[in-house]
Every structure is written in C-alpha cells, then in structure tokens.
Amino acid sequence: MEAAFSRSKSQNQDRLDLSRKGSVDEDIRSVVSLLNGCEQFFTTSSCSGRIIVIDGAACSGDVHKQDCVWLLVSHQKCSSEDVMCALSRSSRDAVLKFEPFVLHVRCRRLEDAQLVHSAAVNSGFRNSGITVGRTGKIISAVRSTHGLEVPLSHEGRLLVDDDYVRFLTQTANQKMEENLRRIQRFYQNLQSALSAERLAVPDAPSEPRSGRTAGRGASEQNPRSRQREAEGFHGDLDLDDCLDLFT
C-alpha cells in the first residue's frame, strides 16, 4: 500500500498540469510546497479562492460550469467595474460566486489525513473531510463554508443596480481577505502539527529529513523554488472532478 502511494506520488510529479490556469495559485504556493515536501502527502488539486461571474442557463440543479460562459475569474480582489463589465456581456443568467480555498491532498495513511484535517478545521475550514476510495486512496479535502452565490441577471437583463454590485463586490473582497487569513493560519497550523509529529517520533518514517528541509525551505525562503514540482501535479479542478477519482 505504501509502495503504491510512493509510485503514485512520483507519477503525479511527472504529470502535466491540466487545469484551466495551468499553475498553482500564488497565495497557496507555500502550503502546497510544504505538503509536497513531505513524503506522506501530495496535492492533487487546489484553488486559493476566486471571485467568478458565470453566465448559463437558469436551471434547478447546479450550474454546470462547463455549459457556462466565464465572464470573470479573479483570484485577487476585484473592482465593481470589473463585475459590471463582466455583467454587460451576459446573455443568459449570470451568477456571481465567491469560491473559497479548496485543496485536495492525497495521504499515505489515515493518520496523515487526520493531521491535515485537524489543521484545516482549526484554521476555520469547517467543511473539510476525508475521503477513502474503494481502491484505498485516502484524500484529505480542505473546504470552507465561507461562500457567496448571487444571481445577477436573467436572460441577459440585469436584476440589480450599480449600488448593489458595488456592495456585493465589497462583500466578496472581504470574504477574499478572510479566506487569505485562514490560509495563513492553515499553513502555520500545518507547520506546528508536522513539527509536533517529528518531536513525538524522532525517526518518523512519515516525514524524512530531506522532505522536511525541502518543504520548509521552499515555503519559508523561496516560495517558487519548488513551484515546478508543484505545478507538475497540480490543478484548479471543480470539486466533482476531484470526487470522480474516488467514487
């Protein structure tokens, strides 16, 4: 089982990034490098958090993003002008969403997944959970309850005024700031948990010296130094893409 995990990890390191963006988001490179520097973890998909405006058919189910036109995608705070400009191109039903940080970490053992899960929940990511697939793949998913989903146009017609769009953009930006604070807490909580684990088990096979040095060096001194390795098996997939791996 552990040999299979190591094989999967190295295979993922060689894989191309198939995400729309094609790289790890700037704000989570330290977290991603810290985890990928530990031999008991590798990350399979992530998004630091984003404000999006998508234009699709009104439906009673989920908006299927592949059927939508993406009018705006911002991984940083944005202005109400950005949102208004996006809405001016709506021809169907436009929805603004704030989607918080999401991260999927493949873990070697259940205890490893629990370490990530505790750090995530203690950092405010309360929708986090562990998924164990039929083939025994263990994934710790870091998720937040901290979203926003607001219908703004119907059949291309704007449903709200400029003042509302300004207020909504400010609200989305505040959520983006809080999301970043939680990511920083998660990074610190992960570091503490990994250090405590090393103290408890000096020769812990779950995290060899080389992995620690690489992971911490990468994140504390040069966040980009392990970027290529990280991008090699990273994505910005939708949650259903991720869960397809295990069900």
Contact status: 197 vs its own copies (CB under 8 A): no
Residues ≥6 apart with Cβ < 8 Å to 174 = none
Distance set, CA 162 to CA 88, 167, 199, 200, 234 (Å): 12, 9, 56, 57, 37
- Report how far residue 132's alpha carbon sits from residue 130's, in angstroms, rounded to the nearest whole number: 7
The contacts of residue 148 (CB under 8 Å, 6+ apart) are 96, 97, 98, 168, 171, 172, 175
Residue 141 engages its own copies in binding (rule: CB under 8 A): yes
Interaction between residue 168 and its own copies (CB under 8 A): yes
The verdict on 84 binding its own copies (CB under 8 A) reads no
Task: Pick the binder of its own copies from 15, 20, 64, 126 (CB under 8 A).
Answer: 126
User: Judged by CB under 8 A, does residue 155 bind its own copies?
Assistant: no
Nearer to its own copies, 136 or 205 (CB): 136
Q: How many residues bind its own copies (CB under 8 A)?
A: 46
Q: Does 73 bind its own copies (CB under 8 A)?
A: no
| Closer residue to its own copies in complex, CB, 176/218 | 176
Measured between alpha carbons, how far is 128 from 219 in angstroms, rounded to an integer?
A: 23
Smallest separation, CB 209 to its own copies (Å): 27
With binding defined as CB under 8 A, does residue 60 bind its own copies?
yes
Stretch that binds its own copies, among 12-20, 33-41, 118-126, 183-191 (CB under 8 A): 118-126
Q: Which is nearer to its own copies, 137 or 198 (CB)?
A: 137
Task: Identify which range of 36-44, 119-127, 184-192, 199-207 contacts its own copies by CB under 8 A.
Answer: 119-127
Rounded distance between C-alpha atoms, residue 227 and residue 86, angstroms? 31
131 touches 141 (CB < 8 A): yes
Question: Rounded to the nearest 10 degrees, how much is the dihedral formed by the CA atoms of 77, 78, 80, 81?
Answer: 160
**Inter-axis angle of helices 162-200 and 29-36, nearest 10:** 30
| Of positions 66, 134, 200, 209, contacts its own copies by CB under 8 A | 134
Q: By the criterion CB under 8 A, which residues form the site for its own copies?
A: 58-62, 110, 113-114, 117-118, 121-122, 124, 126-132, 134, 141, 143, 145-151, 154, 159-160, 163-164, 167-168, 171, 174-175, 177-178, 239-240, 243, 247
